[in-house]
Amino acid sequence: MLKVSVRHDMPNEGILVEVEGRLAGPWVDELKRSWETERGKTNSESMTVRLSNVTFIDDAGKQLLGTIFHAGAKLEGNGCMVRAIIAAITGVRFSNDCGGESKTSIAVESRGGQGENNEHSGS
């Protein structure tokens, strides 16, 4: 199961697309539809896709996240698996210390979809 929530009430931060659950199988298409709907309203550069409580991401989900990132959206997530997937998609290195995984997040933005990355990690 997948839950996609969209928030438009983030002043100066654009649109937040929050994803929870399993990003796999038919749920990948659900995220794609949500992202494309929001992308039709605004540009990708003003979007953040936050992977909150994501328990699994299949290859199609990883490919979609790559497409979203390269279109200019920011990817955020926490947890060892999610951080590793975001790092693989974006090319950003992060501390692979999964002992404190609940406290550490990774946020990466693609500057204009040109592949330049800006990492921010914190608690």
Q: Which distant-in-sequence residues (6+ apart) come within 8 Å of 70 by Cβ?
A: 110, 113, 115
- Mean pLDDT lowest among 23-32, 39-48, 57-66: 39-48
Architecture of domain 2-122: 2-Layer Sandwich (3.30)
**Cβ neighbours, 10 Å, residue 62:** 16
Task: Indicate the pTM of the whole model.
Answer: 0.78
Mapped onto helix, strand or coil, the DSSP state of residue 9 is strand
Domain residue extents for the chain:
2-122
Q: Count each helix (H run) and each strand (E run) in the chain, helices first.
A: 3, 6
Question: Structure tokens of 15?
Answer: 């649109």
pLDDT band at 120 (very low <50, low <70, confident <90, very high): very low
State the pLDDT at residue 41: 84
- Those residues whose C-beta lies under 8 Å from the C-beta of residue 11, and which sit 6 or more positions away, are none
